[in-house]
Chains A and B, each alone.
Chain A
Amino acid sequence: QSVLTQPPSVSGAPGQRVIISCTGSSSNIGAGYDVHWYQQVPGTAPKLLIYGNSNRPSGVPDRFSGSKSGTSASLAITGLQAEDEADYYCQSYDSSLSRGVFGTGTKVTVL
C-alpha cells in the first residue's frame, strides 16, 4: 500500500483541463520533500514530467504544470490531447520509511 494516494482515474474531453491530486502526509510531502510526476504509456517506461514540484524537463509541453501545498500536490493538464491518455504517478521521499515512494497512480482517459 502506497503512502501517496491518487484518484484511480480522471477523464476529460479534448481541450479540457484535468487535475490529478496526490495526497501524502507529514513524513513526505508535508515534511517539505519535493514531488515529482511521471507519465507512463502502457508497455513503455515511465517518463519524468514534472520535477521539484513544478519544474518541467526540456521537451515537456507547458500544458503540464505541477503545484504543491501542505501535504498534497497536484498535476494539471490543460488543453487535453488524445496523446495524454496514459497513467500518471506522483513521487516523493518519505522520512519515516527512509526511501522514495510512488503514488497509487491515476489513469487519464481522453473522452
Chain B
Amino acid sequence: QVQLVQSGAEVKKPGASVKVSCKASGYTFTSYGISWVRQAPGQGLEWMGWISAYNGNTNFAQKLQGRVTMTTDTSTSAAYMELRSLRSDDTAVYYCARDLGSTAGFEPQYYWGQGTLVTVSS
C-alpha cells in the first residue's frame, strides 16, 4: 500500500532553516509528483509547491519564492522541503502529498503524509 512517512516535529528560531523529509513507499516513486501543503494553527490549507519526482521540475507559490527548495532523492524514494529564513508565521503543520495521477496538468493530492509540525519561536 502507498505510504508517505514524514520526519518528526521541529522547533526552530526565527531566521533559521528547516528541512522536512517525506519517505514514499508502495509505488514507483518517479511516476508521480509530490506536493507540499501547510496549515497554520486554526487556519486553512495553503498549497506551497510541487515537484516532479521524474525530472525534478518544480512550481512554487510566489510568496515562498526564494525561501523554499523542494528536492527528491530517487535512490531512496524520498522528497524534501527546505524552508529558510523562518518567521513566526511559518509555524504550521507541513504535509507532503502524492498526486492522484501522472498527467501533465495539475493533479489533486490523493495520498498524504501524517504531517510535520514546525514551530518557529524565539
Cβ contacts B105-116/A at 8 Å (1 or 0 each): 110111011110
A57: interface (CB < 8 Å)? yes
Q: Does A79 contact B (CB under 8 A)?
A: no
Q: Is A45 an interface residue (CB 8 A)?
A: yes
Most buried by B among A48, A87, A89, A100: A100
Within the complex, which residue of B44, B60, B110 is in contact with A99, where a contact is CB–CB below 8 Å?
A: B60
Interface residues of A (CB under 8 A from B): 2, 33-34, 36, 38, 40, 45-48, 51-52, 57, 87, 89, 91-93, 97-105
Q: CA separation between A61 and B1, bound complex, in Å? A: 21
| A2-B44, A45-B115, A89-B45 as given contacts; A100 in contact with B110, CB under 8 Å | no
Interface size, chain B (Cβ < 8 Å)? 24
Instruction: Check if B114 sits within 8 Å of A45, measured CB to CB.
Output: yes
Nearest A residue to B42, CB-CB: A42
Given contacts A45-B113, A99-B49, is CB(A105)–CB(B44) below 8 Å?
yes
